[in-house]
Amino acid sequence: MSVLAAVLVGAVALLHVYILVLEMFLWTTPRAIEAFGTTPELAAQTRVMAGNQGLYNGFLAAGLFWGLLTGAQDVQLFFLACVAVAGLYGAATANRRILFAQTVPAVLAILAVLLA
């Protein structure tokens, strides 16, 4: 695996750890409210749901780290594809920025893994 591919896969994994932290632990803080475009009232009402979403983002990160640690490109590609699809869905249904924050980095990492 190339260094570039490993760095990109690692960056996508770290992004999802950050999202996990925002959704599971910081959902009602000003940082998460700003990042996700909610209000304090909505954040309070959706805290449990956001925690669940954060857990799923953690699973994506864990899968990517697992792929990196084992060197298994098929594992990396599977979890990167999951990230890309989730980003497409999020961009279509929640916020178009998700396409650039989640899908584009995942696709770039996929290309780097395939070319490695």
pTM value is 0.93
CB-neighbour burial class of residue 71 (10 A; exposed 0-12, middle 13-18, buried 19+):
exposed
Question: Rounded mean pLDDT of the chain?
Answer: 96
Say if residues 44 and 32 touch (Cβ distance below 8 Å).
no
Per-residue pLDDT tens digits for 11-43: 999 999 999 999 999 999 999 999 999 999 999
Tokens 């990167």 sit at which residue?
80
Q: Which residues contact 23 (CB under 8 A, 6 or more apart)?
A: 32, 50, 51, 53, 54, 57
Domain ranges of the chain: 3-115
Per-residue pLDDT tens digits for 67-88: 999 999 999 999 999 999 999 9
